[in-house]
Amino acid sequence: MTTLSLGKQALGFARWLGVSLLAGATGAIASVRAATFYGQLAQPAWAPPPWLFGPVWSVLYVLMGIAAWLVWRTDGGRAGAGALKLFVAQLVANAVWTWLFFVWHQGLLALAEIAFLWLLIAATIAAFWRLQRVAALLLLPYLVWVSFATALTFSLWRLNPAMLG
């Protein structure tokens, strides 16, 4: 690990947290009417209430930002460049899912996309593990939540073929 000045570390932290929160904001824009749409869908008994998604995602985006910062600060991002590119790719995929599901109502595409997102997250965790294990561990709740979201997406798509065609 190279030694980075406190100022450089703080700037890096703000950058990676900002990148993560920007992905969340992009999804939030797409989900402005998500609670209404979600409430109209036939849902499995185990589906969470709409109010739960915001707090969960907020925590997950903060954990993602911290994880990316930990990898970046190991050497200013040089050795972790590939891992950080994977991280950004999964953030983009994360934001795209919200648009596919809540704005464009494309259930099958959203299902395929969230499966791809899951793979990107798993690959990011593996890449982070080689560089900074705490960073990898910080992404595990995200993988668990996306696993749950994948099952929910599948269930909602199957229960609502007319609305999620």
Domain boundaries, the chain: 6-159
* Amino acid residing at 115: A
* Amino acid residing at 98: T
Do residues 69 and 17 touch, judged by C-beta distance below 8 A? Answer: yes
Nearby residues of 73 by Cβ (< 8 Å), 6 or more positions away: 1, 4, 9, 12
Do residues 83 and 132 touch, judged by C-beta distance below 8 A? Answer: no
Nearby residues of 8 by Cβ (< 8 Å), 6 or more positions away: 76
Q: What is the pLDDT along the chain (165 residues), one digit of tens a residue?
A: 557 889 999 999 999 999 999 999 998 898 888 888 999 999 999 999 989 999 999 999 999 999 999 999 987 667 789 999 999 999 999 999 999 999 999 999 999 999 999 999 999 999 999 999 999 999 999 999 999 999 999 999 999 999 998
Q: Which CATH number fits domain 6-159: 3.40.50.720, 1.20.1260.100, 3.40.50.1220, 3.40.720.10?
A: 1.20.1260.100
Stated pTM of the model: 0.94
